[in-house]
Amino acid sequence: MQITFSSAALPKSGAIIIPIFEDGKKTKAYNDVDTKSGGALERAIKDSAFEAKKGKTLEILSPGELTNSRVILVGAGASKDFTALDAEAIGGAGAAKVLASRDKSAVFAINGLSAKKIDASELAARIANGARMKSYRFDKYRTKEEKKDKPALTKITVNTNATGAKAAYADHDKIGDGVFLTRDLVSEPANILYPDSFAKRCKKLVDLGVKVKVLGETEMKKLGMGSLLGVGQGSERDSRLVAMEWMGGKKSDAPVVFVGKGVTFDTGGISIKPSPGMGDMKWDMGGAGAVTGAMAAIAGRKAKANVVGVIGLVENMPDGKAQRPGDVVKSMSGQTIEVLNTDAEGRLVLADAMWWAQETYKPKTVVDLATLTGAIIVSLAHEFGGMFVNDDKLAKQLKEAGEATGDKLWHMPLTKTHYDMIKSDIADMQNIGGKGAGSSTAAAFLGRFVKDDVAWAHLDIAGMAWNEKDTATIPKGGSGFGVRLLDEFVRANYE
């Protein structure tokens, strides 16, 4: 999708998209287009039930005396409450209408649009970013799709007098690349994306200046990663551990480390899942996908910070060699784990990945992301990622980053009781708790692999990595959740 910014006169073809606030005050762009159309916009509003509430649209085909195909009015809500995320929603709503048409180009006419909480350049950039986010499609395996079913839109222009809009958009563009990378990874089928092929995609980040290390099973065995390797031992595909290093800050600064769960397909192992919905388990690597996309975004915009992304990549399959319920494994930390449920495997992967990351990079802060528990969906539905922390300052920083980007988090409980619930009769711990608090006991398990002097957050994104329906800027499918969150967290606290 080509995104441009221009102050030139509006084109005479294609679609024109105009945001409008519900307080009735019209922008210069609206008044100009209405005049040129012979009042077609005002007539359409009066003859319809259109109210300029957030997300509402009114499409006017062949508008009056204009030669454009359509004018699309997009509700912006109340001007006093208007935010940067609202601007992105305008971009998404407008783009969605054009993507459903046969138009090849569209212009957002926003001259005169202003809001108290966002300057004109950033407003234009955010509208463009929302349009781009909504334009994503994963269609590489469709070989017989009819032309009429494919969007024709290839160019979006934001018509604005704000001279800094292009520069303001540059960072959003790089972050968008990271979001799209994550969406691609999460959307790939498991016969295409497995531990080794995932690691090879990570290596492409070298082009952005990222240093990439890949550990194979031989190296991990020497390091004592029995927890991670136990998960993948039933698969014909070897497990991998990948580290992606971006050192854009001072050499003396300890890096912030992100760790992602990368179960490229999860059958549940011997504790096999029911068949309905098992195909969805191709995206059980959503945490690793988010970390990879975040590293692409951070490196793409040349962040002045030291950041490392570590992902544990395994495939959880039932096999004669597979891990059994009741097995005991020894983690890299030296702690032993009684595996009572082989479908509680992501935490076993993260245990060794987190310990290795701390041993290798000596970070002061570690944030892990994982599609870890169905219990978090019971608690938070698909509205928030669950956040578990050992540090209140870190919780505040992540919550603020989530609010700024729309990757929202909810602070969940993690107490001594949850740690007590994973005590084992025969090992240092077991990999599941009782019937209740499944997300908190999973977090407590991970907490056993965090060093005393490290600020740590666990983000359970099981309800957020995949969208079952379209939202303002995210089509159905892989959401890219976590990329913008982690990028903003770095920007606000480490640059």
Q: Which of 134, 347, 484, 491 is catalytic?
A: 347
34-40, Cβ contacts within 8 angstroms, sequence gap of 24 or more: 36/65, 36/66, 37/63, 37/64, 37/65, 37/66, 37/71, 38/64, 38/65, 39/64, 40/64, 40/65, 40/66, 40/71
What are the beta bridge partners of residue 214? 242
User: What span, in angstroms and rounded, lies between the C-alpha atoms of 93 and 369?
Assistant: 29
Per-residue 3-state assignment (H helix, E strand, C coil) for the chain? CEEEEECCCCCCCCEEEEEECCCCCCCHHHHHHHHHCCCHHHHHHHCCCCCCCCCCEEEEECCCCCCCCEEEEEECCCHHHCCHHHHHHHHHHHHHHHHCCCCCEEEEECCCCCECCECHHHHHHHHHHHHHHHCCCCCCCCCCCCHHHCCCCCEEEEECCCCCHHHHHHHHHHHHHHHHHHHHHHHCCCCCCCHHHHHHHHHHHHHHCCEEEEECHHHHHHHCCHHHHHHHCCCCCCCEEEEEEEECCCCCCCCEEEEEEEEEEECCCCCCCCCCCHHHHHHCCHHHHHHHHHHHHHHHCCCCCEEEEEEEEEEECCCCCCCCCCEEEECCCCCEEEECCCCCCHHHHHHHHHHHHHHHHCCCEEEEEECCCCHHHHHHCCCCEEEEECCHHHHHHHHHHHHHHCCCEEECCCCHHHHHCCCCCCCCEECCCCCCCHHHHHHHHHHCCCCCCCEEEEEECCCCCEECCCCCCCCCEECCCCHHHHHHHHHHHHC
Q: Is 484 a catalytic residue?
A: no
What are the beta bridge partners of residue 243? 213, 310
Q: Is 142 a catalytic residue?
A: no
Single-letter residue type at 180: F
Q: Which of 273, 399, 408, 451 is catalytic?
A: 273
Catalytic residue set? 273, 347
